[in-house]
Structure 1
Amino acid sequence: MSKFLFVYHGGGKPASEAEGAKIMKAWTDWFATLGASVVDGGAPVGKSQTVGANGAVTNDGGANPVSGYTVVDAKDPADAARIAKGCPILVAGGSVEVAPIIDM
Structure 2
Amino acid sequence: MPNFLFVYHGGGRPESQEDIDRVMAAWGKWMEDNGASLVEPGNPVGMSKTVSSGGVADDGGANPASGYTIVSAADIDAACAIAKSNPMVLDGSGSVEVAEIMQM
Instruction: Answer whether TM exceeds 0.5 for this pair.
Output: yes
Q: Is the 8 A contact 1:12 1:92 kept in 2?
A: no
Secondary structure in structure 2 of the residue aligned to 1:26: helix
Letter in 2 for 1:67: S
Unaligned runs of 5+ in 2: none
Instruction: Provide the TM-score with structure 1 as the length reference.
Output: 0.94
Inter-partner Cα distance in structure 2 for 1:100 and 1:48: 22
Aligned residue number for residue 86 of structure 2:
87
Distance 1:22 1:3 in 2: 29
TM-score (norm 2): 0.94
Give the fraction of aligned pairs with identical amino acids, expressed as a percent: 52
| Per-residue deviation, residues 54-93 of structure 1 (Å, max 9, x unmatched) | 3x11111210011100000001011011110000011142
Change (3 A) 1:24 1:92: farther
Structure 1 residue runs of 4 or more that deviate by more than 2 Å after TM superposition = none
Structure 1 unaligned segments of length 5 or more: list them. none
**RMSD value, Cα:** 1.0
Shift of 1:35: 1.8
Paired residue for 2:14? 14
Alpha-carbon shift at residue 53 of structure 1 (Å): 0.9
2:66 corresponds to which residue? 67
Contact 1:49 1:57 in 2 (8 A): yes
